[in-house]
Amino acid sequence: ERLFHSRDHSDLQDSSSEQAKPVTDLHSAQQFLSRYGWTEPEFPIEPAKDPVFTEALKKFQRANDLPVTGILDDATTKAMNKPRCGVPDNQVTENKNATLVTPQSNTFIQVNDTALNQSIGSNYTVNHEKSPSRIR
Amino acid sequence: KKRFLNMLLPPDRDKNGQVVLDRTETTAFARRSLKWRLIGEGYSSQLSIEEQTYAFKLAFRMWSEVTPLDFEEDTTSPISQIDIKLGFGTGRHLGCAHTFDGEGQEFAHAWLQSDIHFDDDEHFTAADTENGISLLKVAVHEIGHVLGLAHSHRRGSIMQPNYIPQESAFELDWSDRKAIQKLYGSCEGPFDTIFDWVRKERNQYGELVVRYNTYFFHKSWYWLYENRHNRTRYGDPIAVLIGWQGIPASDLDAFVHVWTWNQDASYFFKGTQYWRYDNENDKAYTEDTQGAHYPRLISEGFPGIPSPIDTAVYDRRIQSIYFLKDSLVFAFDINKNQIVDHFPKRLTDVFPALVINDHPIGNIDAAYYSYTYNAIFLLKGKEYWRVVNDRERWQNPSLPYNGLFARRNISEQWFDICNVHASMLKM
Q: Got the DSSP string for B228-258?
A: TTTEEPTT--EEHHHHSBTS-SS---EEEEE
Contact yes or no for B125/B132 (Cβ under 8 A): yes
Q: Give the H or E element holding residue B136.
A: helix B135-147
- Please tell me which residue of chain A has the smallest CA distance to B133: A83
- For the range B228-232, what are the long-range contacts, defined as Cβ-Cβ under 8 Å and sequence gap of 24 or more? B230/B174, B230/B415, B231/B174, B231/B177, B231/B415, B231/B416, B232/B65, B232/B416, B232/B417, B232/B418
Beta bridge partners of B376: B369
What per-residue confidence (pLDDT) applies to B114? 86
Sheet with B33-38, strands from edge to edge, namely A84-85, B106-110, B116-119, B84-89, B33-38, B70-73
- pLDDT on residue A49: 73
Return d(Cα B258, Cα B369) in angstroms, integer: 12
Q: Answer yes or no: do B121 and A87 touch at CB < 8 A.
A: no
Tell me, rounded to whole angstroms, the distance of Cα B287 from its chain centroid.
32
Q: Considering CB atoms only, which of B91, B148, B163 is closest to A83?
A: B163
C-alpha to C-alpha distances, A111 to A107, A122, B233, B275, B308, nearest whole angstrom: 12, 15, 31, 54, 53
Angle in degrees, 0-180, between the axes of helices B49-64 and B135-147, rounded to the nearest 10: 50
Gyration radius (Cα) of chain B, Å: 26
Q: Which residues of B touch A131 (CB under 8 A)?
A: 156, 167-168, 170, 173
pLDDT tens across the length of chain B (427 residues): 455 544 443 444 444 444 444 433 467 888 999 999 999 888 999 899 999 999 999 999 999 999 999 999 999 999 999 999 999 999 988 888 889 999 989 999 998 888 999 999 999 988 765 678 899 999 999 999 999 999 999 989 999 999 888 766 789 999 999 999 999 999 998 999 999 999 888 888 889 888 899 999 999 999 999 999 999 999 999 999 999 999 999 999 999 999 998 899 999 999 999 999 998 888 999 999 999 999 999 999 999 999 999 999 999 999 999 999 999 999 999 999 999 999 999 999 999 999 999 999 999 999 999 999 999 999 999 999 999 999 999 999 999 999 999 999 999 999 999 999 988 887 7
Q: How far apart are CA B251 and CA B61, in angstroms?
A: 23
Quote the CA–CA distance of B372 and A40 in Å, as a whole number: 53
Query: Are the Cβ atoms of B154 and A89 closer than 8 angstroms?
Result: no
- Tell me which chain A residue has its CA closest to the CA of residue B183: A112
Q: Would you please indicate which residues of B are annotated as catalytic (active-site) residues?
A: 142
Q: Is residue A104 packed enough to be buried (19+ CB in 10 Å), middle (13-18) or exposed (0-12)? A: exposed
A14 to B103: CB separation less than 8 angstroms, yes or no:
yes
The shortest CB-CB distance from A136 to any of B101, B110, B234 is to B234
Query: A77: nearest CA in chain B?
Result: B105
Our CA-based measurement puts residue A132 at a distance from the nearest CA of chain B, in whole angstroms, of 7
Query: What integer pLDDT is reported at residue B1 of this predicted model?
Result: 47
Residue B82 phi/psi, 5-degree rounding, is -90, 130
Residue of B360, B359, B378 whose CA lies nearest to B368 = B378
Query: Which pLDDT score, from 0 to 100, does residue B418 have?
Result: 96
Q: How far apart are CA A41 and CA A39, in angstroms?
A: 6
| pLDDT at res. A11 | 66
Backbone φ and ψ for B245, nearest 5 degrees, come out as -85, 130
Question: In a mutagenesis test of the A interface, which of B43, B66, B105 is the best target, namely the one with the most A β-carbons within 10 Å?
Answer: B105
Instruction: Answer whether A20 sits within 8 Å of B106, measured CB to CB.
Output: yes
* Structure confidence at residue A13 (pLDDT): 58
- Chain B interface disruption, residue of A9, A62, A78, A87, most B CBs within 10 A: A87
Strands (E), B263-388: 264-270, 273-278, 283-284, 296-297, 311-315, 320-325, 328-333, 338-339, 345-346, 366-370, 375-380, 383-386
DSSP bridge pairs for B222: B217, B238
Give the chain B residue nearest A135 (alpha carbons): B169
Nearest to B153 among A64, A100, A103 (CB): A64
Give the pLDDT score at B53: 96
Q: Which residues of B touch A15 (CB under 8 A)?
A: 90, 103, 121
Question: Are residues A112 and B27, on separate chains, in Cβ contact within 8 Å?
Answer: yes
**If DSSP codes are grouped into helix, strand and coil, which group holds residue B427?**
coil
Query: Cα distance from B181 to chain A (closest Cα, Å)?
Result: 15
Question: Which of B186, B198, B218 shows the shortest CA–CA distance to B413?
Answer: B186
pLDDT of residue B77: 95
List, in sequence order, the alpha helices (H) in B45-134.
Answer: 49-64
The residue type of A103 is P
**Chain A positions in Cβ-Cβ contact with residue B101 (cut-off 8 Å):** 18, 20-21
Strand partners, B259: B264
How close B413 gets to chain A, by Cα (Å)?
21
* Predicted pLDDT at A47: 63
Residue of A nearest to B109 (CA): A86
Query: Smallest CA–CA separation between B188 and chain A, in Å?
Result: 23
Residue ranges in chain A whose pLDDT is less than 70: 1-18, 42-48, 91-136
Out of A88, A128, A133, whose CB is closest to B168? A133
Torsion angles phi and psi, residue A55, rounded to 5: -65, -40
The residues, ordered by sequence, that sit 6+ positions from A44 with a Cβ below 8 Å of its Cβ are A30, A50, A52, A53
CB atoms within 10 A of CB B56: 25
